[in-house]
Chains A and B, each alone.
Chain A
Amino acid sequence: MEMARDSRKFFWAYTGLILAFVYLPLVVIIFLSFNNTASIGLPFIGFSLQWYYQPSILANGLGGFLADTGAILALQNSVTVGLMVAVMSTFITVASALSLRRRFRGRTFFFYLILSAFLVPGAIYGLGSLFLFQALNIPYSVYSIVPVQLVYALPFGLILLLPRFDRELENVEDAARVLGANPLEVFRRITLPLIFYQVIGVFMFSFVISWGELTRSAFVATGVGTLPVYLYTRIQTLAPTPEFYAIGTVVTSVAIALVIAAGLLLSRNQRRLF
């Protein structure tokens, strides 16, 4: 007993240590985004919100996030692309899950086909997409990012949604069917209300996938692209300032808020039908 308690302490301490390490970069960017200096390093000179909003802080015109026209454009692109990906991903995920919940010929094949998008390294997939767009002569725009991110968002959505189709849900649907509801009515009046929270969860999660994606988008984006593409492109030509931390803090906070909300919705099991 004594030993069991000791071992539990050891495992807790270990997990805590790794957690602290994994959180270190997050703490650093939030903390240093308020640093009153042009350097991205330590020490911390003093508290300031300048890197969030103030125009032309440095002699070369670089300023804070909200005064940076490129960053604002990238932010708009991130939101537009994210919403498009989330809407389409939700529809396709729900349709696919309604089919893949059943057993039928080819089910395993299609299940793994959707999952395989995770298994293809981002750089290789991004490269192939670049070739495709070039061959079809599709002009690059921020919208060329949408299908590329959509392919990547689907497997996540499917894995999150499929477990919701459990025995209990099936029983309720069967009851409705026995009582004379046609398939469309069953979906609209029974299935959809019962999986509603999970559907919203998939929507939010897909948005988050799009919001943070870089390796695939970098190949097919033009102009400022989305926020991650903008930051990645800019750092290669200009030395980074704490504005990066400010943008990073905002980008990360949005993602965290959405994932927490999505997680709460996904884990919610029942919604009252009537």
Chain B
Amino acid sequence: MAIGRKLSNYLLLSPAIVLLGIFLIIPLLFDIALSFWTPSLTGYQQIFTLENYQNLGLPAYTQAIETTFTLSFETVVVTLILAYPIAYTLAYKIRSPRKQTLILFTLVIPFLMDYTTRTISWYPILGLNGIINALLMDLGLTSSPVNLLFNQTAVIVVWFQAYVLFMMTPIFLALSKINPSLVDAARSLGASSWTAFRKVTLPLSAPGMVVGTIYVLVSTVSDFPTVRLFGRGIQTVGLAIAQQADGLNWPFAAALAVLVIAVILGAFYIIIRYVDVQQLF
């Protein structure tokens, strides 16, 4: 009976294991393998080389790498700061679970927009005769339209709208798991509400912030469609991967991919040394 039960556990998991083995693990191993192979006209030849990694040092790519991680880092900071109060409102300022669910749902909806349409919808918003410029001129803040498109700030704005949900939700989950009597205890021991927040609530919500940060980091690093359609002239690693794949320089695309995975794993490793992410699940 015990053995049968154990066996059934693995048997039930087998479809997932087979699927992930073939279609997740092997593709990632291919990324690693190809990064050490030689580019050729048809894609690659199985001859070992380190040239792909040496090419990462070319100025065009060090620039792209720097831009990518600066942009992603800034997006993470902006979404974290702006999403936290929403998660806090949802967790503590709304009593009825019904209303909580309703607002969570309301937040999910914009995330369901199609990528391409979502991106071009920002032209009428940020463009020269767009909504924001009309607003700025009405308020007398500027006399002529300001160019708000095609710069790094615009990309951050687009990403904020697209990914804020993924920052907000894990923070909300972490906040709802905090035992309210901990804050009460801090308050009754004389802490001001700000001190209680800083010393109790904020540290306890760290797992949520970490999960949100990782998700936003991973999403933005690879979101090349937004950069291609919106960043005009901005080069990121995600976009470079897509371009090199189209141009059949697969080994170099693979080297870029391995670099990104290494950075993400590194960031992940450093973060989980300080925060226990498992608490969230």
Interface, chain A (partner B; CB < 8 A): 7-8, 11-12, 14-15, 18-19, 21-26, 28-29, 32, 40-43, 91-92, 95-96, 98-100, 102, 104, 107, 110, 113-114, 116-125, 127-132, 134-135, 147-148, 150-151, 154, 183, 208, 212, 214-215, 218-219, 227-228, 231-232, 235-236, 240, 244-245, 247-249, 251-252, 255-256, 259-260, 263, 267
Contact = CB atoms under 8 A, between A and B. Distances in A.
B159 interface: no
A214 B120 CA distance: 15
B9 interface: yes
A240 B120 contact: yes
18 contacts: A19-B106, A21-B161, A24-B125, A24-B131, A24-B161, A25-B110, A25-B113, A25-B118, A29-B113, A42-B127, A99-B11, A121-B238, A123-B221, A127-B253, A128-B30, A132-B27, A208-B112, A244-B117
B19 interface: yes
Interface of B: 5-6, 8-13, 15-17, 19-20, 22-24, 26-31, 34, 43, 82, 85-86, 88-90, 93, 101, 103, 105-110, 112-118, 120-125, 127, 129-131, 161, 164, 214-215, 218-219, 221-225, 228-229, 238, 241-242, 245, 250, 253-254, 257, 260-261, 264, 268
Contact of A99 (B12, B117, B124): B12
A119 B214 contact: yes
Contacts of B6: 104
Contacts of B29: 128
Nearest to B221: A121
Given A134-B43, A232-B225, A212 B12 contact: no
Contacts of A95: 12-13, 15-16
B253 to A, nearest CB: 6
B115 A214 contact: yes
Chain B interface mostly helix, strand, loop or mixed? helix
A145 B107 CA distance: 28
Nearest to B104: A263
B109 A15 contact: no
Nearest to A249: B117
Nearest to B258: A124
B112 A124 contact: no
A11 B245 contact: no
Contacts of A134: 43
B264 A121 contact: yes
Q: Which 3 A-B pairs have the closest CB atoms?
A: A248-B117, A128-B27, A121-B222
Contacts of A260: 105
B257 A124 contact: yes
